[in-house]
Amino acid sequence: MKMWRCSVCGYVHFGDVPPEKCPKCGAPAEKFVEIEKEKAALIERSAFTNGLLMELYTLLAKAAEVSARGEADNLDPGCVGIFKKAQADSQVLRRMIMAEVETHIGKGKW
């Protein structure tokens, strides 16, 4: 399938022809440029992984939220230690995901 990038805002359209107007910024069809096959394949290949990274990011944010509630509950030092570690590790992993996604975007893998 062909891919078209809006030269105004970067929105990517999947289809045989560009859309009449960009759903994101309203630019007309003439503003769309077809993405080369090689780059289109890269976008398609990385879409699944990017989706997984976003899903993992959401789960890690939820883990941090649950852990904050556990820390506040403060049953005993063992539990508090686990909840604190979970929050810290979650934050590191979320920042790693953000950096990885930024790298993907920079390489056109988005």
> Using CB under 5 A as the criterion, which residues of the chain lie in contact with Zn ion when the complex forms?
6, 8-9, 11, 22, 24-25, 27
CB of 8 or CB of 93, closer to Zn ion = 8
* Cβ proximity of 49 and 36 under 8 Å: no
CB of 6 or CB of 101, closer to Zn ion = 6
Other Cβ atoms less than 10 A from the Cβ of 22: the count is: 22
* Cβ proximity of 60 and 90 under 8 Å: yes
Shortest Å, Cβ 79 to Zn ion: 50
Shortest Å, Cβ 23 to Zn ion: 8
